[in-house]
Every structure is written in C-alpha cells, then in structure tokens.
C-alpha cells in the first residue's frame, strides 16, 4: 500500500502496519517520523530500482507499507444505521469512490455481495483516498449468508428499510423516508440490481432526471453519492444525524423538483 493519505488514514484508524518499505534516500520528515513512531514487525530498505518496480505511481513513492487485513467492525451507529450494499462491483474506481462517499456521508458499513473486483486492489485503495481504512466492509459471496445477516438486522432494527434501485421510474428517491435505519442496495454496473434483490427490497426508487436528458443512466458511483446525500440530508433535517452543514429541505410548495420523472441507476 502506498500514498501519503492512505498510509496516514491506516495509521490513524488503528490498522496494524507490519512493515514499511523505503529506499532510505532523502526521506521526508513525514516518512522519517512514521518509521520511528509506528511499531512494526520489520522494515525493509530497498534499492531505488526495486522501489520503482513495487510502486504503482509514475512518481515513485518514498514509503510503502504492508498492512494486515482485518475483519469488519460493528456498525458505529447502533441506534440508526445507514448501510450500503453493492452487488458484484465490476469497476475498481467505482468501488473506491463509493467507499469514499460512504465515509464522507456517514454510512456505517458497506456490504459487498457476489463475485466482483478485489477489495484490496491498489486501484480501489487509491480511489478511496484513505476512506478504505475508515469504512467497515463486509464481504458476502453466498446468498444464505446475506439472508441471515439481514434477518439479524431486522431483528435488531424492526423499522429497517431495504431500498432497492431501478431504472423503471419507480418512487423518486426524495419521496422515500431515509431518516430511519436503512440499507441502500446498488447493482452491478452492467447488469444492475438483480431480480433477487429487487424482490427483497421494501421499495424500489429512482433518481429523477430531466426529461430532456440524453443520458439513459448514471454511473453507479455517482448514483451512490446522490442516494447517500439524500439520506444524510433527511437525517440532518430530522435531527437523527448532523453530518455537517447540509441544506434544509424546502417546503413541498417550494420544491424545485418540478415535473422531472426520468430516472435511472446503474
């Protein structure tokens, strides 16, 4: 793993750094401080040529780290969880971006289902900009494992809503109540949300788009940002969450949504 922000966030979030890797040449104060202040099992000093082979950047990193994987933590907000499910992620950048959005807008956990890109792929880490180490991720490849987990969630949170996404002009996302316990379900970039998840959902929602738009869909990472922002906005208004200076919702009569009905997710 490399990158100043990624390494800083891993250390700050308490991930176990097993080793640092460096060339030993002209290290910055930041790198020297980490080497002396972070407890590791063993550190490695390599030649500049080997550092260049290991680094995934054009401007070779001065410091890289070997970090121990760890199991997901429990939801941080036990009273009112905001959870996200992403089924079979097919793009590394999208997965990393969704992790970053979950971190920014207060999602307690990201659930990954089915077979998809590697969560620990360097492109995922880079796209997350350090949020990889802040957002608990629960990976579930089997449907029965997910079913059991959702049953446990419903037992703990009886008002939990499973909100699926669709391209078929279902309920507009701003009309759905998202201030209580909620699981937002995102589909694969190509095949979208599977029939199984659509049937599992308590409600199917769409993002309204302009009728004049030539776009048939939104990128899944963009859609996730809109979904989570709407959830954060409603929670700020209701007082259940205050994730920053989010705008207050206008009265229905003042709503700017107009007649837009076109909507889609990927």
* Domain residue ranges in the chain: 4-67, 82-263
Quick: pLDDT tens for 16-28.
999 999 988 889 9
Measured CA to CA, the distance from residue 139 to residue 106 in angstroms comes to 19
Quick: pLDDT tens for 58-86.
889 999 999 999 876 655 556 899 999 99
Other residues' Cβ atoms within 10 Å of the Cβ of residue 51: 22
pLDDT over 50 at 257, yes or no: no
Which residues, at least 6 apart from 97, have a Cβ–Cβ distance to it below 8 Å?
127, 128, 221, 224
Kindly report the pTM of this predicted structure: 0.82
Quick: pLDDT tens for 95-127.
999 999 999 999 999 999 988 999 999 999 999
Q: Which CATH architecture has domain 82-263?
A: 3-Layer(aba) Sandwich (3.40)
**Residue 263: what pLDDT?**
44
CATH number of 4-67: 3.30.1330.30
Measured CA to CA, the distance from residue 91 to residue 129 in angstroms comes to 16
Q: Which position has the higher pLDDT, 192 or 35?
A: 35
The CA-atom distances, in angstroms, between 169 and each of 80, 116, 189, 203, 208 are 28, 27, 18, 12, 8
**Residue 240: what pLDDT?**
63
Confidence band of 134 (pLDDT split at 50, 70, 90): very high
What is the separation of C-alpha 55 from the centre of its chain, rounded to a whole number of angstroms?
Answer: 25
Measured CA to CA, the distance from residue 57 to residue 52 in angstroms comes to 8
């Amino acid at each position: 793993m490399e990158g100043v922000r990624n390494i800083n966030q891993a250390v700050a979030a308490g991930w176990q750094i097993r080793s640092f890797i460096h060339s030993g040449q002209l290290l910055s104060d930041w790198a020297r401080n980490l080497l002396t202040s972070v407890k590791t099992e063993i550190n490695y000093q390599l030649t500049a040529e080997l550092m260049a082979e290991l680094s995934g950047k054009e401007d070779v990193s001065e410091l890289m780290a070997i970090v121990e994987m760890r199991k997901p933590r429990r939801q941080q907000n036990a009273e009112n969880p905001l959870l996200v499910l992403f089924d079979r992620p097919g793009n590394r950048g999208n997965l990393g971006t969704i992790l970053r959005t979950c971190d920014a807008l207060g999602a307690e956990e990201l659930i990954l289902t089915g077979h998809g890109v590697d969560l620990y792929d360097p492109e995922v880490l880079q796209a997350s900009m350090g949020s990889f180490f802040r957002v608990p991720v629960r990976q579930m490849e089997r449907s029965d494992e997910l079913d059991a987990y959702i049953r446990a969630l419903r037992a703990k949170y009886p008002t939990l809503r499973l909100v699926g996404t669709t391209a078929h002009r279902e309920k507009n996302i701003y009309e759905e109540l998202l201030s209580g316990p909620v699981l937002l379900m995102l589909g694969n970039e190509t095949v979208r949300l599977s029939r199984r998840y659509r049937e599992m959902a308590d409600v199917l929602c769409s993002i309204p788009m302009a009728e004049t738009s030539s776009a048939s869909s939104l990128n899944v990472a963009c859609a996730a940002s809109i979904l989570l922002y709407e959830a954060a906005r409603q929670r700020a208004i209701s007082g259940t969450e205050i994730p920053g200076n989010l705008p207050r919702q206008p009265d229905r009569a003042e709503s700017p949504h107009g007649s837009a009905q076109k909507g889609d997710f990927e």
